[in-house]
Amino acid sequence: MSKMGASIPPPHRCFNMRNPLAKALVLFITISLFGSLLLQQSGDLDVKAALLKTASSAKQAVSSQRPLGSYHQQAGWGGDSVHTPVEMTGHQPDHPNNLANISTHGNMHCDYDMDRLKHWKEKYKLQDRFEYTRRYIQVSRQPIARKSMTVLDQDFLFDHVKVVDVNKHYQPEACPAPLVVPVPKSPYPSTANASDFMFGVSTTYKRFVDPKTNPTNEWKYWLTDNNGSSNGGKLLLMLMGASDTEMADVHSQLTAVGIDADVYRSSPSDEMAVRYLTLVPTLYNHHLRPQKKWLVTCDDDTFFPSLHALIAKFEEYDHTKPKYIGTFSEDSNNVMRHGEQAFGGAGVFLSVPLAALVTKHFSSCRTPEKIKEANTGWGPQGDVLLRKCIYENSPVRLTLLDSLWQLDMLGDPSGFYESGIQPLSLHHYRGGGWHSALPFHYTKVSHLCGEGCMMQRFLTADDFVIANGFSVAYYPEGTGEIDWDQLERTFRSAPDDKGWNLDFKWGPQRQGLAKSGRKLSWDLQEAEIIWEDGEAADGEGAGGGEREEETVQDDITEVKQSKGGKRRRVKEVRQIYVRKHDDWRWKLADGATAMSKFDGVVELVWLPDLTDAE
């Protein structure tokens, strides 16, 4: 594929001990650590006690005036007291299905299912004792515009954060009233009709079968109704040098989950850039092309989280004209290096007339001379080859669609995923030098609240921000001074990072809060959909990816099955957010002292809006 920057060195190399700045920083951290150890020996306890005293009044204070650390301790972090749930006496079973129904809100259970907690301990390598908070969230679908940040008047915590010991058993508790979050009535992912689109992807069998890179779950999200049938979107998959058996294997894995795919073999002797360009005539020459409006090339790690919004956007463009639609890299260095073309990972959308033009000129666009010209110093680039083919043979130029994302960023991607935007595409989320993210899990909640609510943000009265699907973050010093319209600079650009080269798409970013004592976040690791029809398994697909224990719920909720709406209904979505006590980011301002000595799990359980008749 046209991998812009596929040859970028791994990010770790830009920070090594040969760098004098790094050396100075390590020295500084060492000194600070030593200093804070000394402090702990002496008057530290008194300081903590004094801070605790002010805690009760702190909550009423304007957030920016909050005494340092006080609210943080009141909530149960950093102080000396550890709050635990009440232990079971005797040997009662603690499985949720055996519990008395103590909740005041229908299906809510605020118990301690030690089997699940033990499972997370193993899976996420947590301590034996860790913080566990379960919170129910009731969605309220309303005829409102999508808000980037919705301010709630409810608290996230209703009590102290509690520490559980996986070797103990605890009494169930009464659930507090759920957080009620207003969201727009955005359509559900499974009802999208993508029949105007045909997608072309080039990859290898090896990448397809590797559980770390297998795209089946992601493709199932944006190419099917999530119930075993295609959503009308067609996929042409090119596998480099694959055998007949391998092609049949891939085809059957995709078909099994409802993806309408044709699998092709591409020649390993072609340049990668040429294999990429070949997608265009392959799409154009397909027998379904007369029924399509848009032929799309993308990478095997391109993800479309909001298909209805994407389709609506493309209805604004005239598909009968030659159109070349996509986006630049967020990194101006990459635009300077490679040029002003659509960067392939974000998705490149060609109208059929433009694909006809590229197909017509295909042989002259892939000559050795053109391949050489497409080498920007990092090897021949497929995106450049396509751009040259279009620009040199027509007056057509790129139409920029800014809500597509190439995501040429490195490191902690939180600033982007916590920005409150609704992206039309995501890319580069499989680590390996770029960032790591789990869009397949992030979008599970969209089946419950609509595609617009993923990455929507909710700020609670006690300064927690839920960036739905991605993180739950706590701002112990308050949020009054944070400009939520600006991205937090948590990530960095590939070298050379000039400090501003990511600004032209994102604007200048606000300062990162890592190691400031002002932010503590739990990141989503997995989510699970409990369907109304009783099947808990949301069909993780044959292809691997994250494996989850699926629990079957026997409870039956009365839901008025609204007439024709041919959507599988969701009973609840559970999101598991995890924070490790030694996460390098969540340190006090000394840069070394952990904000919490415990690992933590926050479980959000989303409840659907049963009053919404669609």
Binding-site ranges for ligand NAG (CB under 6 A): 101, 106, 193, 195, 227-228, 231-232, 566-568
Q: Which is nearer to ligand NAG, 227 or 394 (CB)?
A: 227
Name the residue whose CB lies closest to ligand NAG: 101
DSSP helix/strand/coil, 70: helix
Contacts for 434 with CB less than 8 Å, ≥ 6 apart: 407, 408, 409, 410, 428
The minimum distance between CB 286 and ligand NAG, in angstroms, equals 17
Q: Taking a C-beta distance cutoff of 8 angstroms, is the pair 238, 278 a contact?
A: yes
The minimum distance between CB 613 and ligand NAG, in angstroms, equals 16
The minimum distance between CB 327 and ligand NAG, in angstroms, equals 26
Q: Which is nearer to ligand NAG, 49 or 613 (CB)?
A: 613
Q: Which is nearer to ligand NAG, 167 or 611 (CB)?
A: 611
The minimum distance between CB 231 and ligand NAG, in angstroms, equals 5
The minimum distance between CB 155 and ligand NAG, in angstroms, equals 23
| Integer CA distances (angstroms), 459 to 111, 370, 482, in order | 26, 52, 12
The minimum distance between CB 614 and ligand NAG, in angstroms, equals 12
The minimum distance between CB 567 and ligand NAG, in angstroms, equals 6
Nearest to 139 by CA among 433, 579, 575, 581: 575
Q: Which is nearer to ligand NAG, 106 or 353 (CB)?
A: 106
Contacts for 362 with CB less than 8 Å, ≥ 6 apart: 277, 278, 280, 281, 389
Nearest to 179 by CA among 417, 525, 465: 465
Q: Which is nearer to ligand NAG, 547 or 566 (CB)?
A: 566
Give residue for tokens 């080039």. Answer: 202
| Residue 437 burial (C-beta neighbours within 10 Å; 0-12, 13-18, 19+) | buried
The minimum distance between CB 271 and ligand NAG, in angstroms, equals 37
The minimum distance between CB 469 and ligand NAG, in angstroms, equals 23
Q: Which is nearer to ligand NAG, 154 or 191 (CB)?
A: 191
Amino acid letter, residue 93: P
Token pair for 133: 């908070």
Q: Which is nearer to ligand NAG, 448 or 502 (CB)?
A: 448
Distance of CA 570 to the CA centre of its chain: 20
Q: Which is nearer to ligand NAG, 497 or 535 (CB)?
A: 535
CA distance 474 to 472: 7
Q: Which is nearer to ligand NAG, 196 or 590 (CB)?
A: 196
Give residue for tokens 């493309």. Answer: 314
| Torsional class of 177: left (φ above 0), alpha (ψ -120 to 50), beta (otherwise) | beta
* Helix spans in 339-431 (H): 352-360, 362-365, 368-373, 382-391, 414-417
